[in-house]
Amino acid sequence: MSSLKNLLKKYRILILIVGLLVLSVSQQKLFMPYVYDVIKSDLFLVDSEDKGSDLPVSTPLSNIAFMHCNNYLKSKAETDVTMNFAEKPLKAWSLGNYQYVINAEVSITDSAGTSTKKYACRITYNKGDNEEDALNIDNWSIIGVSDL
């Protein structure tokens, strides 16, 4: 038993290097081919008329998303707080598949005074290509809002 211990102690660096090589080769030859097959498949494909853009957008749906984000913030505000929103967002981005990120400012008045803060809101329209009932908040999901 002590000879095995001495042998492991003597060759521990070599065992570590061989272990890392075996791990690296097994990942490249066994695991990654399956990952590439999943990526090539249609598993993550979302077929939608709404294409994302890395440039800011101003569309009827992005404006409705802005309105719903503002209403959501008002509903979460304390009763002694007054919120005044701008007419339009600073910027709005379409992430595709009817998901939007809205960046806007809000003027908040409370007992400490008035301050202007920026917020970001991520929101999704759940009805897809059917935009008839976009004004109904029940057809939207607010994914998150930055802290004010």
> What is the predicted pLDDT for the residue at 148?
67
Taking CB atoms within 8 Å and a gap of at least 24, the contacts of 128-134 are 128/48, 128/49, 128/50, 128/97, 128/98, 129/48, 129/49, 129/50, 131/60, 131/61, 134/60, 134/61, 134/64
119-129: average pLDDT: 92
3-55 residue pLDDT tens: 878 878 888 899 999 999 999 999 999 999 999 888 888 777 767 777 787 88
Contact criterion met (CB below 8 Å) for 133 and 142? no
Token reading at 20: 């890392």
Pick from 114, 106, 115, 73: nearest CA to 88: 106
> What is the predicted pLDDT for the residue at 130?
83
| CATH number belonging to domain 60-145 | 3.10.450
Q: pLDDT-based confidence at 118, cuts 50/70/90?
A: very high
